[in-house]
Structure 1
Amino acid sequence: MSIFCRKFLNSRLNIKQALLSKSCLLCGGAAQSDFCSPCGDSLPHLPPHYCPVCALPATESRVCGACLANPPAFHLGLAAVNYAFPVDALLHSLKYQKNLAIAPVLADLLVRRIDAGALPDFIVPMPLHPVRLRERGFNQALEIARRVSKRLDIPLLPAICRRVKDTPSQTGLPWKERGKNIRDAFACETDLSGKRIAMLDDVMTTGSTLNELAKILRKCGAAHISGWVVARTLSGDS
C-alpha cells in the first residue's frame, strides 16, 4: 500500500483544489473521479461475507450469532469500507481539520454500497449535542448525509432527533462502557409510524450509538431502521 503515502496525504493543503482538478485525492495522479484506479482498488474494502446487521466479517452473509442472541434495535447495518488507512485519515481530516470537501467523497463511497431497490423513506443523520456542535462548527454526519440524500433522492430529516445528553466521546472508552455512556442521549417526538428510516453516521465501532438512536426511532413508530456508516471498525475493542 505504498501509494497511500501518509506524508503525501498530510501535506495536501488544498483538498478542494485536488477534487476540482480531477486529480486523485490520495496520490495526486490523473483520475476520472475522486480516486485513480489503483488507489480506489486499494481502499480498505470490507470482506465479501459479513453479518447484515452488525456488518462484522462472517463466514457467510448471514446474521451472526451475537446479533441472533442479542439483536440490536436496528434491523440492518451497512458500511462502505473498513476503518483503516487512508479512510481513517480522510475522516480525521473532515472532522478535525474542517476539510468539508471530503464529505461528498466519503458519501459517494457509501452510495455505491446501498441497494437502490430497497431505499428508506427518510435519512436521519446522527445528531451532535449543541455543545459539541458549537466546538466543531458542523456535524460531519449531516454533511455526509446531504450528499447521500441528493444522490439517492431520499428526503433528509436533519432536525427530528436531538442529542440531549452531552456524553464524553466514545473514542477511547472500553467497548463495554460505550452502551452505558450513550444511554438516554437522544430524543425524538416525531411520528414515524410505518416509516423506513436510515440512520447515517461516519463510523461504527461497537454500534452502541446507532443502537441507542434506533431505540428512540422505534418508540416513534419506525417500522424498519438501517444504520448506514462510511466506515466499520472491524475490531470491537477499538
Structure 2
Amino acid sequence: MDALSRLHAWLLPWRCLLCGDAGSAGLDLCHACAAELPRNTSCCARCALPLPGAVALCGACQRKPPPWNAAWAPFRYGWPLDRLEARYKFGRDLAAGRTLARLWQGTVPTIARPALIVPVPLHRGRLRQRGYNQALELARPLGRALGVPVRYDALLRPRATAAQTELDAASRRRNVRGAFALREGVALPAHVALLDDVMTTGATLAECTRVLRKAGVARVDVWALARAPSPRHRSS
C-alpha cells in the first residue's frame, strides 16, 4: 500500500459499499463481498460470453462472427457486481465507480494490448442528464495503469437513441444503427480497443466497430468490465 493509500485508510477508512463492513485491500469492498464477484474465467474468445465449459467460441460466434477481432471482459454481469454497476451508472454513485475502476485495474488483459483505447460515447443529452460518461471514467484509470492512451473524442454519438436496457437483441441493433460517427480529422492507429462498462448483446459495440473499420482501423477489440450471460446460462 502506498503512502496516499495509507493516509486515506487512516483518515477515511474504506467501507464496503455492499454490506457496510470494513473494506479490504484498498477497496470499498470487504473481503467476503469481493470474493463473491463473478469472474469471467470461462468464456468465448470472440465475444467474451460466459460459457459453462472450456469452449473456444460460442455457437453464435461460430455461426456469424461479430465485426470485432477479440473481446476482454474480466467479470460476469451478476451479483454483486451488477449492484455496484447500477449504483454507478444510474445512481450517480461515484464511489461505486471508483471501486469498479480499481477492480478492473487489478485484472490482466487476456488479449493483445492496443495502441489506443476509445470509450463508447454518450449522446450530449444523455451526458447532460447523467453528468459523466461511465465508460470514459472507467477507461481513464485503466489506460493509465496499462500505459495505453485514451481518446475520448474520437467517436461521436450525434443521434440520440432509446435506452437499450429493455430492448431485445434485434431492437437493440435497430436502435443504434447509424447512431455513431468518427470525429472529422481524427487519425487512428491500426489497433484500437473499444471500451464500455457492460456488454450485453454487443449491438452498440458492433456499430462502433463498423465506424472504426470504415475509418481504416485494421484490428478492433472490445473491452468491457462485465459481460452479461446468455439467458440460458443465467443462474436463477
User: Which TM-score tier does this pair reach, normalised by the shorter chain?
Assistant: 0.7 to 0.9
Percent identity of equivalent pairs: 40
User: Which residue does the alignment assign to 2:141?
Assistant: 147
User: Which residue does the alignment assign to 1:54?
Assistant: 47
CA contact (8 A) 1:124 1:198 kept: yes
For 1:173, which of 152, 167, 173 is the aligned residue? Answer: 167
User: Which residue does the alignment assign to 1:115?
Assistant: 109
Q: Kindly provide the amino acid, as one letter, of the partner of residue 127 in structure 2.
A: L
* Structure 2: distance between partners of 1:159 and 1:203: 20
Matches within 5 A, 1:200-211: 200-211=195-206
Q: Kindly provide the amino acid, as one letter, of the partner of residue 50 in structure 1.
A: C
Deviation at 1:116, TM superposition (A): 7.7
Deviation at 1:121, TM superposition (A): 0.6
CA contact (8 A) 1:125 1:141 kept: yes
Segments of 5+ residues of structure 1 without an aligned counterpart are 1-15
For 2:154, which of 160, 172, 182 is the aligned residue? Answer: 160
RMSD of aligned alpha carbons = 2.5
Partner of 2:222: helix, strand, or coil?
strand
**Structure 1 stretch displaced more, 96-105 or 149-158:** 96-105
Partner of 1:200: helix, strand, or coil?
strand
Partner of 1:124: helix, strand, or coil?
strand
* Structure 1: distance between partners of 2:24 and 2:42: 30
Matches within 5 A, 1:2-41: 20-27=12-19, 28-34=21-27, 35-41=29-35
Q: Deviations over 1:175-221 (max 9, x none)?
A: 2211111111100142325x211111111110000111011111111
CA contact (8 A) 2:209 2:220 kept: yes
- In the alignment, structure 1 residue 197 sits paired with structure 2 residue 192: yes
Q: Kindly provide the amino acid, as one letter, of the partner of residue 192 in structure 1.
A: L
Q: Deviations over 1:41-81 (max 9, x none)?
A: 211222x3210111113332412231132111111111121
* Structure 2: distance between partners of 1:113 and 1:130: 31
Relative to the length of structure 1, the TM-score reads 0.84
User: Which residue does the alignment assign to 1:215?
Assistant: 210
* Structure 1: distance between partners of 2:34 and 2:123: 34
User: Which residue does the alignment assign to 1:5?
Assistant: none
Partner of 2:94: helix, strand, or coil?
coil
Relative to the length of structure 2, the TM-score reads 0.84
CA contact (8 A) 2:72 2:111 kept: no
Q: Kindly provide the amino acid, as one letter, of the partner of residue 217 in structure 1.
A: L
Deviation at 1:224, TM superposition (A): 1.4
* Structure 2: distance between partners of 1:76 and 1:117: 7
Partner of 1:101: helix, strand, or coil?
helix
Q: Kindly provide the amino acid, as one letter, of the partner of residue 191 in structure 1.
A: A
Deviation at 1:111, TM superposition (A): 3.0
CA contact (8 A) 1:79 1:113 kept: no
Q: Kindly provide the amino acid, as one letter, of the partner of residue 209 in structure 1.
A: T
Q: Deviations over 1:16-42 (max 9, x none)?
A: 99x941333333225122133322221
- In the alignment, structure 1 residue 128 sits paired with structure 2 residue 122: yes
- In the alignment, structure 1 residue 99 sits paired with structure 2 residue 68: no
* Structure 2: distance between partners of 1:144 and 1:23: 21
Closer, same or farther in 2 for the Cα pair 1:21/1:216, shift >3 Å? same
* Structure 1: distance between partners of 2:152 and 2:60: 31
